[in-house]
Amino acid sequence: MRPKGDRNADDSIGFSVPAVGHSPAEGRFALRLFCMAVGLLSVAAGLALLLTRTFLPPRSTTGTFIVPVAFAFSTVLLILCSVALGRALSSVRRERQRAFRRSLLCAVACGTGFVGIQAFGLWCIVQNLAADRNAGEAQLGATALVLGAAALHAVHVCVALIVLSYVTLRGLSDRYDHEYSFGVAFCTWFWHILGILWVFILGTYGIVSWFLALCVP
């Protein structure tokens, strides 16, 4: 249960509003947040590097789009992350702290996996685009556009992972309960919106791929 006296020290989203001087506790929390965020991003980068050394990117010799299989796995992880955060929000509002913490940790694992596999998928697109000598100008432009959108989405997911790290550390410190859970709700809806955007980008990628395969010789 979060101490009542701490509620005035936070804003409505759950991020601390610094006073004139920083307490040692705030300094320690900032250090833990930094270490956790760097650690998760490092794990994601290591996963992406491992995948690039283990699996070869798909090759196209006909000038058509190839959607990396990695995008299917990353999409599943993104959905699981959103589901876990939804359960975390429901649990904290019912004062089920143990289930709340488990759901947060599950969301962290899925979010980290998503970033790593998504980076590998983007690498596959770049490698395929560089090796495909039969690609026409229309395909190159369409692929570059979708690639840019997917890369921009990946950057936003990295930011969302840092926000999730913040909420997770606060949650493990009993800072959220049935009376104060807006920070968890904010993080949850952030990931939900990113999931919707990713489905839109993936759908656009598939439509463009089908259109160019049908109309471009």
Q: How many CB atoms lie within 10 A of CB 11?
A: 10
Look at residue 132 in the predicted model and tell me its pLDDT: 57
> Among 192, 180, 157, which Cα is nearest to 5's?
180
- What is the rounded CA–CA span in Å between residue 95 and residue 206? 42
Give the chain's domains with CATH numbers: 24-215 (1.20.120.80)
Question: Is the model's pTM score more than 0.85?
Answer: no
Q: 138-197: per-residue pLDDT in tens?
A: 455 556 666 777 778 888 889 999 999 999 999 998 889 888 899 999 999 999 999 998
Which tokens hold the place of 150?
């997917």
Positive or negative torsion for Cα 115, 43, 80, 165: negative
The position carrying tokens 């968890």 is 184
Question: What's the pLDDT score for residue 9?
Answer: 45
Task: For residues 75 and 168, give the distance between their C-alpha atoms in angstroms, rounded to a whole number.
Answer: 22
CB burial string 157-167: b at 16+ within 10 A, e below:
bbebbbbbbbb
pLDDT of residue 164: 95
Higher pLDDT, 134 or 201: 201
Percent of the chain beyond pLDDT 90?
A: 45
State the average pLDDT for the chain.
80
Question: Using one digit for the tens of pLDDT, what is the confidence trace for 54-108?
Answer: 887 666 555 555 677 888 899 999 999 999 999 999 999 999 999 999 999 999 9
Read off the pLDDT of residues 192-212 as tens digits, 9 standing for 90 and up: 999 998 888 888 777 766 666
Taking only the tens place, the pLDDT of each residue in 26-36 is 888 899 999 99
